[in-house]
Amino acid sequence: MCALALAGATGLTGCSEDPDAGTNGVGKLPADKIQSRTRAAADSARAVRLSGTVVTSGSTYKLDMQLKADGGTGSVTSQGATFRLLRIGEQLYLKADADFWSHADGGEKGGETATTEKLGGKYVKVPQGDPAYKKFSGFTDKDVLLDGLLALHGALATAGHHEQSGVRTIRITGDKGAGGSLDVSLEGRPYPLSLTRAGDAGTLRFSDWGKDFTLAGPAKDETVDYGKQLPTS
């Protein structure tokens, strides 16, 4: 802290507080160095939780995912439908309610079909050859997801000191913010904490860096192996 001192008849004199005092020091680096440090920290972390929205290929996805090297778990909401994803190694499961599968099977909302009865509320194994595997497995892959999300576009620059959930941060931007902005922690390791993607393509928060969690497969009576291809949704 910077203290104020009485200086005799001249009154109060002060000094400005150093925003990088007591931090990890990355706030003093140029933007490209901050970006490389935060990417290295993110890549080396054993786990992370991310939440927020991602807009891709014209679709908006609301995510709340826990990720680590060998898989991930969490929820995804798109077009009013919420479903859970669980990946352990190469095996991906999708769990959704009956309405989700009713639409996938071509039925009317609320209609009872063989598909909804079989798949509703169950962890459905997603075959690797099914289009849904490629579409959704990326949401459970820490490296793939972070590589795609943490890139800023255009010339990099710093954009001042900020705060995210009580943690001091330094903000870096691409193309003066048009190419996205990223808040990087000034406390502990320089993990990314908040991201605004370029082109209004979503905002995300990152937390629980390095906090491990258990990935466990669903019980046998909660699992359905539908076959080589899921219903088209």
- Residue 62 predicted with pLDDT over 90: yes
Question: pLDDT per residue over 69-85, tens digit each?
Answer: 999 999 999 988 899 99
Quote the mean pLDDT of the chain: 88
Instruction: Check residue 231 and give its pLDDT.
Output: 65
Under the banding of pLDDT at 50, 70 and 90, the label for residue 99 is confident
Q: Does domain 26-90+128-210 have CATH number 2.50.20.20?
A: yes
Under the banding of pLDDT at 50, 70 and 90, the label for residue 58 is confident
Q: Where are any strands of DSSP class E within the chain?
A: 5-6, 12-13, 47-56, 59-68, 71-78, 81-88, 91-95, 123-126, 156-164, 167-174, 181-185, 192-196, 203-207, 223-224
Pick from 201, 212, 81, 83: nearest CA to 142: 212
Q: How many other C-beta atoms are found inside a 10 Å radius of the C-beta of residue 108?
A: 10
- Residue 6 predicted with pLDDT over 90: no
Q: How do beta strands 12-13 and 59-68 pair?
A: unpaired
Greater pLDDT, 11 or 45: 45
List the domain boundaries for the chain. Answer: 26-90+128-210
What pTM, to 2 d.p., does this model score? 0.84
